[in-house]
Amino acid sequence: MEQNQRIETLLSAISNRTKLSIITLLVRRKRMTVTQMSKLIGTTRSNLYQTVGDLVSSGIINGPEAVVNRNYVEKYYTLNESLFQELDSEVWSRRLQSLSEDQSREIVVSFLLSQSMNLQIIAQEIQMSPEKASPRIKELLMGDRILMSYGRISDATYNRFLDHEKDLIKIFQKNPDDDGDNTYVILGIPGLIDFREPEKFSRSKPKRRE
């Protein structure tokens, strides 16, 4: 798949909330059946089959791999990681800048909802872990291996944060991990505007990232 086609394929997928939720689940769980996905996304299997089929046809996910479990066959799907690893970040960035206002809105909403689901899954996994796991959870928290940070900062500090985040992403892109099990979510919401009251949007323009 050539670069522009790869970008358009991914852009179409992440603009769809259900498709991005499936991608998010496969990033975390690595391999899943449609039944497993449906329980976490909160929909029926029949509703997901067409969407999963679309993702397979577009080359975003692999599958299915048939696994015999007692008297029935389970079909597992996995993420086509090479599609993401071969993505040109500069071409991707330029394509995002060319999006319409409606497309930009839908991608932001889609990402936030899919990550909300992802964080709920992680919370449930921790909550339902056996009691003997509690000392390990505390150890990770006290050793700053579980990072939890939330706050409000000035525009100047926020711009410095964006610069550091851009450097981090470059490190991740140059050193991809095929077997990485650690999860990170980087989220920043600018306070220049009040999304609930468009008439009060600030006239100041946000800093454009180069």
56: CATH: 1.10.10.10
Task: Of 14-28, 34-48, 189-203, give the lowest mean pLDDT range.
Answer: 189-203
Q: Are 15 and 91 in the same domain?
A: yes
Q: Which two tokens stand for residue 91?
A: 């071409």
Q: Are 168 and 107 in the same domain?
A: no
- Stated pTM of the model: 0.79
Which structural domain range is residue 179 located in?
Answer: 149-210
* Cβ atoms of 118 and 185 closer than 8 Å: yes
Q: Are 13 and 30 in the same domain?
A: yes
Q: How many structural domains compose the chain?
A: 2
Q: Which two tokens stand for residue 2?
A: 């050539």
pLDDT of residue 210: 47
132, 147, 162: which is the final residue of a domain?
147
Model pLDDT for residues 147-163, shown as the tens digit of each residue: 888 899 888 998 998 88
Q: Are 20 and 114 in the same domain?
A: yes
Q: Are 206 and 162 in the same domain?
A: yes
At residue 65, does pLDDT exceed 90? yes
pLDDT of residue 197: 64
* Cβ atoms of 75 and 33 closer than 8 Å: yes
* Cβ atoms of 54 and 19 closer than 8 Å: yes
Residue 42: which pLDDT band, with cuts at 50, 70 and 90? confident
Helix axes 45-57, 17-29, angle to 10 degrees: 80
Q: Are 56 and 67 in the same domain?
A: yes
Distance, CA of 9 to CA of 45 (rounded, Å): 23
Q: Are 94 and 178 in the same domain?
A: no
Q: Are 25 and 117 in the same domain?
A: yes
Q: Are 56 and 95 in the same domain?
A: yes
* Cβ atoms of 15 and 106 closer than 8 Å: yes
Nearest one of 97, 98, 204 to 156, comparing CA atoms: 204
95, 129, 147: which is the final residue of a domain?
147
147, 167, 191: which is the final residue of a domain?
147
At residue 106, does pLDDT exceed 80? yes
